[in-house]
Every structure is written in structure tokens, then in C-alpha cells.
Structure 1
Amino acid sequence: MRRKIHIKPIAAGIISLAAAVFILPAAPAALKAMQPMIDKIVQDAAILSLSAAMPQGGLALLKERFEENNSQSSRPEQQSSQQAEHEDAQSGSEAYSPDDMQSLNEDEYTYGQSSSQQGQQGQDIPNIPKEYQAPVLEEDMSNPPSQQYIKHGGGLIKNLTKLTEAQVYSQLGKKYTLSIKDIAKPQVLIVHTHTTESYNQYDYKFYDTRNNWRSLDNNNNMAAIGAEMARVLAENGIGVIHDTTQHDNPSYNGAYDKSAVTIKKLLKENPTISVVLDVHRDAIVRDNNLLVKPLSVINGKKTSQIMIIAGCDNGSFNMSNWPVNLRFAANLQSRIAEKYPTLARPMYLTYKKYNQNLHDNSILVEVGSCGNTMEESLNSARLFAEVLSEMLISYSN
């Protein structure tokens, strides 16, 4: 199905705003009163600009996302001309130390509670025209048939490379070491290559096929998930840098090149960083537009299931550190499976780069899919960060 972009209301608002500014140059009070409308028009214009760069349809957008992932895997490093494009993206990063958490207002970290996310809180069932309805399937994806996977500790690994099972086990059998001298200094860098990825608005059996699962509001996209992870890590005494740059605004194209610039900059500024997390959300669409939400109930709460992805060098990525990343990912996967057996889907080992060549202990983390809600994914982010905290503390001197 095709998504129609409704331009007229936005254009009318912009025209009205221009007229008001022209007519009322000497009436600051009147302009102040119009500020909410001005803000809304600016936001709508930004969304319109973003939409113009998208395929015409939410499901087509999901396809574009994975095409961008595939092209990135073999793309050479970009020249410095990429820097100017990067600087145009909405950006920002925050550092969290354990001491900071004592003074932070808890409300500041209550994400995903806007009116669009309250379907799970008893709000009315969404009114979706029948022609735009497609089914949502809740599925526990944590324990598929084990013969298809490599087992490591309590976790499972899906080997999508040409490496034999014996070769993978050979790498996993090597001792994993991580030495953290001062855990309160920045140890974890959280970034989002696809920051504007967002979630389904309601916990419901149908979804709206016109949805593009994107949001420019960092309270309702992957930045909110990263912030929740950062909060939990800092509460456990671990220094964190969380970058909220919207590398995929206005387009997925080139997002990995932009996030590489961010990662390199923050690694240079924070040499104590031990772990790099690129936090995304997945998209699982089957025949007849069936949208799958990987889901578990943990501690009585609906919780999105996460998936860790470790890249493997196919000989052209210049990623000699992939075995280190694999061992880090597999150890974390095992710890998650032991503490929360249904939190994680099997880990993927695949011929992709995902900027994991830039630093040891780099992984990509998919938190739920576009079928999940923000609330379900925040629950997941907390549990994931809790296990990661325990792992890092165990390696702290």
C-alpha cells in the first residue's frame, strides 16, 4: 500500500504563519501567544522534509533500512567531505557519571509516555480504516530449534557466515579479557546510527500500514532507549557517554558513515571507553504484511526481546578485531540468557561491518521491532543494561 503525504494543512499553516509575521511585526505579545502554533508548524515542516526523502510507504521504508545496512557492509571509509554533512544532523551527547545520578530528576528519564504511547495504559483502541489494517503477531523468539544454532554458555548464536561451526568455537574458546581500571570514568559509548527509528503506537492486534515508524522526537525514538540504558548503567556506577545525533535525518543513506564520524570523535575525546553499543530497533515483516513483535513477559511486564549482532570480516572490511567483538557479544549473550532466559533472541554473527572495526567490544543491539511499543522496549533496555552493568563490574579492577 502507498502512503499519501498530506501537504495542504502544513502548507496552509506556513502561509498563515508568514502572514502573521508580516502583519504583526510590532506586536510581540501576539507573536508570543502564537508560539505553540509556530512550534507545531516547524515540527510538521521537519516531518514533511523527512518524509519527502522516504519511499512512499511505511513497509517500503523498512526495506530501505535494510538495503542501507547491506550497502554499508562493503562501503570504503568516506573522505573528510562527509564531515560537513554530519554537522548538519541534529546532534548532542551526554556524559553520565555515577555522581550525576544523585542529582538527576527521575522524571527527566521517563521516556515514551506521550499520548501516542498510552495504548497499553487502557486508551481507546486505535481507529484504523480497514484497508490500512494488517495483523500483529506476538512471538517468543528466544528459543528456536537449537540444532540451527551454535550454543555458547546459556546463549545461542546464529552463524550467517561461511565459517564452520568448529571455526566459530575455536574463536569462542579463546580467553576473553577486559580490564577496567576506573569504572566511574566513561566506559560505555551508546550511539544510534538510525536514531529516528520508533515503535508501534499501540499494543494491539492490528497496525496501521501507513505508519513509517520514524520520529524526530528523541523522547519517542531510539534516543529514549539509549537514555534508559545510560541511566541504568550510571546507577550501577559505570561512566557512560550517550550520543543522540540523528544520523538518519533526513535519510538512512549514509547514516553509518555519519555515525562513524561521531564514534571516532567521542573515542578520541574519551580514551577510557571500553564498549561501544549501536542501539537500533528491528523490523520483522512476513507474508501478507504480518508484523512480528518479539515479546516476552518478564517480572510481570511485557518486554521486547533484544538481538545482539556481531560483525565478521569477509576479507574486505579491514576488521581484524571481529573475534574480540564476537567473544564480547557471546559472553554478554550468555549472561543475559542465564539471568533472563527469554529476554534475548539468538545472537547473529554475520558478514557486516556496522562500524565495529572502530573499537574492540563493539556490537549492534536491536531492541524489539517496529511491532513493539516504546513501553515494552524501555522494559527491555533496563534489563539489558542491568546485565551489562554486572558484566562490566565483574571485569573492573
Structure 2
Amino acid sequence: MVRLMEKLCRLGKNLVVLACAAVCIWCVAENFQSWAKEQGGKALLFAAGMGIQETPVPAAGMASDSPVTTAEPQKPQTVQPMELNLPDDGIVPFHSDLFPGQNATPDPDRANGPVEEIQMDGGTQIGNFYVRDSTESGTDLAAELLEQPDVDIKADGSVEVLIYHTHTSEAYSASSPGFYYTDMETRTQNQDMSVVAAGEELCKALQARGIGAVHDKTVNDGVYNGSYARSWEVIQKNLQEHPGIQVTIDLHRDSMTTESGVKYKPTAEVGGRKAAQAMLLAGCDADGSWGDFPDWRLNLRLMLRVQQKAQELYPGLMRPMNFSNSKYNMNATHGSMLIEVGTEVNTAAEARYTGQLLGEILAEALTTI
């Protein structure tokens, strides 16, 4: 009887173990079925020993061998923006593939050359500024500085200044990586990237000071030859429409490349920002060879005053004034000027800033004559 009872106990224990095992198998089967439905064909490969289960990516700050306890959805990480040295006006051109201020190396598959940032000076000192005189005319520049220019700006809102561009499509760079490509585009129809952008800032600065100005953006260099003949027509059209114009400004962009292929980037720092250096060009007809430029001294006197004022307000912004045997449509008025702003390796932001500064210089000079 005792033995019978022992056998029954052992049988009961075995039945309990079998029941527990059955429950475990049932749970595993249920989980496997759910997993197989989610994995689809991958489940068959895994079951056959040919599949690889993906290892969960550890959460930030967790060691790679830490167990994953809960499959919670990952929150999107916030990406902090890079701190870039943006152009002076804080604008990164949308079509540029180089962000200013980042270390950049040229594409080895494109021919390139170095850019050298310089501040140009030299020439003959006249007062607080310098002039490069190539005329051999013997003109006494210091004496001309003391003579009165033939302009009388009223600053009453009427149009008294014309800004135009003989070479309208002269372009600037989008960024300043320290090199240039020899196949770079130096002309553009995008007027936000051309000398027109500098002219627009110049115009706005004059208007802000109450000086009426008009900015003619006519493209005169669609065909390069004949550009000055076309810009002469632009001047005459505006003089007819606005007979009060006394000052005409032909705004250009210069270019300087050495024989060894170095491009110069004339730059000044004004108020902690980079600006493209600018240059005034004054024409001369001392021997009368031009035949239609008898009043060249009147233009010269005005430009000497402007150069002097620029050095007072923003030292270093202006390159030495260029005084040469040239005309360049400066026989149109007694207040005709030609101004070069930077070179093709200056940025458009630098050129725009210079346009603004030139407007402030001109406004001050024109209203104190």
C-alpha cells in the first residue's frame, strides 16, 4: 500500500512537470508565430540557419554590450548647426557649393590658382591720400584739390546722381576659399552677383541721405565691343529724363592677375567687416588729343575731394586714385566718375558693403562742397 502511494506521488509530479513544459512550449510557439508573421520570409531563412538577426543599436550613452530591456521608439536627435564664418552680411549664397570660412581644397581635376588678399597703396601723396599719376601732364594735384568742383547738390529729393555700368555683367565670387578655378565665370547675368549689386547699395545709401539717385541697370556688354558707345546712350537718355543730374558714376569691377597666375583680392576692413577696396579713375586730356574733353579738370577736382573724404571716413577703403590719359565717357558732365570695386575674386557680399560705404562717402563729400 505504501509503495502504491509512492508511485502515485511520482506520477503526479511527472504530470505536473509535463504540464509546465507544455505550457512553456505553447508560449514559445505563440511568440514564434507572431515573430514569424512580422519577419515573413526572413523567418524561414533564420530557422534554416541562413538568416542574421539584426542587433539593436544601443541608445546614446549606453555601452554596446548593454542588454536592451524595452523596445521603445527612438526620439529624433536634434542636429546642432555648424558655426560658420558667414559673409559679412550673414548670407550664404544658395548656389555656392563652398561655405565661406570652411577649409576648402581645390578639385584636383580642375586647373586652379592661388588668391592673395592684399591692400593696395603707393603713388604720390596728396594730403591724406595717394594718387598714381601716369599722365605726364605736370598737373598740380595738390592745387587742383583746393579748387572748387563744378557741382551743387541740393539734396532735395530730385534726381541729381546717375549710377550705371558700362560692363554690367562683371561678376564677383560667391565665396572666398583662397583659390580660384581658371575656368571660373567672370561675367554673369545674375545681377545679385555682379557689379550691379554694388551699384544698388550705393544708390540706396545716397537716397537715405536725401540725395536723389537713379540706378540704370541696362546691360551694355552683351557684346563687349561697343560697350562704351551703348553706355553713352544710357547716360544721354537719363540726362534727358532727369535734367537735374550733375554726377554720373560708372561703376565697374576690376581684375588683377600676375604672370604667375596669382589673382589679387584687394580688401579692407571697415567696422570689423571685410570690404572690397575701391578705386577712383580720373581721366585727362592735357594735350587736347581727345578733342571733346576740355573740362577734365572739373571731374578731377570732384574726385580728389571724394578720395580725401573717403580717407577721412574709412581709411584704407580706397586704393590710390588712378589719374590717366583716358576719357571713358567722363566728358558727359562736370561730375563724371569711374569707380572700380574689387576684383572677380572678391565676394559679392564684400562688394555690396563697399557700395554702401561709397554712398556714405559720396553723400558727405557732395553735400559739403
- Structure-2-length-normalised TM-score: 0.71
Alignment CA distance shift 1:386-1:182 (3 Å): closer
Matched, 1:280 2:252: yes
Runs of 4+ aligned residues of structure 1 deviating over 6 Å after TM superposition are none
Higher helix share: 1
Quote the residue 1:85 is aligned against: none
AA partner of residue 322 (structure 1): W
| Structure 2 residue 106 is matched with structure 1 residue 132 | no
Distance 1:327 1:118 in 2: 45
State the AA in 2 paired with 1:367: V
| Residue pair 2:92, 2:100 contacting (<8 A) in 1 also | no
How do 1:9-88 residues align onto structure 2 when only pairs under 5 Å count?
A: none
- Alignment of 1:233 onto 2:212: no
Deviation track 1:232-261 (CA, whole Å, cap 9, x = no partner) reads 111111111100011001x21100000000
Choose the corresponding residue for 1:291, options 259, 263, 274. Answer: 263
How does the TM-score come out when normalised to structure 1? 0.66
| Per-residue Cα deviation, 1:88-115 (whole angstroms, up to 9, x for no partner) | xxxxxxxxxxxxxxxxxxxxxx998532
Number of residues paired by the alignment? 279
Deviations 1:251-306 (A, max 9, x none): 21100000000001101111111211000010011121100000111111111100
CA contact 2:155–2:210 (8 Å) conserved in 1: no
Provide the residue aligned with 1:311 in structure 2: 283
Evaluate the alpha carbon distance shift between residue 384 and residue 111 of structure 1 in structure 2; reply closer, same or farther with a 3 A threshold.
Answer: farther
**Corresponding residue of 2:151:** 178
List per-residue Cα deviations over 1:8-45 (Å, max 9, x = no partner): xxxxxxxxxxxxxxxxxxxxxxxxxxxxxxxxxxxxxx
Give how far 1:177 is off: 4.6
Aligned to 2:94: 115
SS at 2:331's partner residue?
A: helix
**Which residue matches 1:164?**
138
- TM-align CA RMSD: 2.1
User: Following the alignment from structure 1 to structure 2, what is the Cα–Cα distance between the partners of residues 308 and 261?
Assistant: 22
Cα displacement (A) at 1:393: 2.5
CA shift at 1:327, angstroms? Answer: 0.3
Q: C-alpha displacement at 1:217, in angstroms?
A: 1.2
For 1:160, the aligned partner's letter is S
**Matched residue, 1:248:** 221
Distance 1:126 1:202, change over 3 A: farther
Contact 1:132 1:209 in 2 (8 A): yes
The change in CA–CA distance for 1:353 and 1:113 in structure 2 (over 3 A counts) is farther
Contact 1:200–1:374 (CA<8 Å) still a contact in 2? yes
Moved more, 174-183 or 266-275: 174-183
Aligned to 1:198: 171
Deviation at 1:224, TM superposition (A): 1.1
Matched residue of 1:261: which SS? Answer: helix
Contact kept? 1:186, 1:270, Cα under 8 Å: yes
Distance 1:272 1:112 in 2: 37
Does residue 385 of structure 1 match 2:364? no
Deviation per residue, 1:183-235 (Å, 9 max, x gap): 31111100000010001232121101101311011111111111111111111
- SS of residue in 2 equivalent to 1:365: strand
Query: What SS does structure 1 have at the residue aligned with 2:339?
Result: strand
Match of 1:210 in 2: 183
Preserved contact between residue 228 and residue 378 of structure 1 (Cα < 8 Å): yes
Unaligned runs of 5+ in 2: 1-88
1:122 Cα shift? 4.5
In the alignment, the residues of structure 1 paired with residue 126 and residue 307 of structure 2 have an alpha-carbon distance, to the nearest angstrom, of 8
CA displacement at 1:164 relative to structure 2 = 1.7
Matches within 5 A, 1:91-110: none
Deviation at 1:352, TM superposition (A): 1.0
Distance 1:331 1:112, change over 3 A: farther
Q: Where do 1:361-376 residues align within 5 Å?
A: 361-376=335-350
The runs of 5 or more residues in structure 1 that have no matched partner are 1-109
**Structure possessing the higher radius of gyration over alpha carbons:** 2
Query: Identity of aligned pairs, percent?
Result: 33
Q: Residues 341 and 118 of structure 1: is their aligned pair in 2 closer, same or farther, counting only changes over 3 Å? A: farther
What's the counterpart of residue 266 of structure 1?
Answer: 238
Bigger mean CA offset, 167-176 vs 129-138 = 167-176
> 1:218 is aligned with what amino acid?
Q
Q: Distance in 1 between matches of 2:261 and 2:365?
A: 39
Q: 2:82 aligns to what?
A: none
Cα distance in 2, alignment partners of residues 279 and 353 from structure 1: 15
The Cα offsets for residues 150-186 of structure 1, whole Å up to 9 and x where unpaired, read as x333221111102125x44443343335322353111
Name the CA distance, whole Å, in 2 between partners of 1:112 and 1:222: 17
Matched residue of 1:188: which SS?
strand
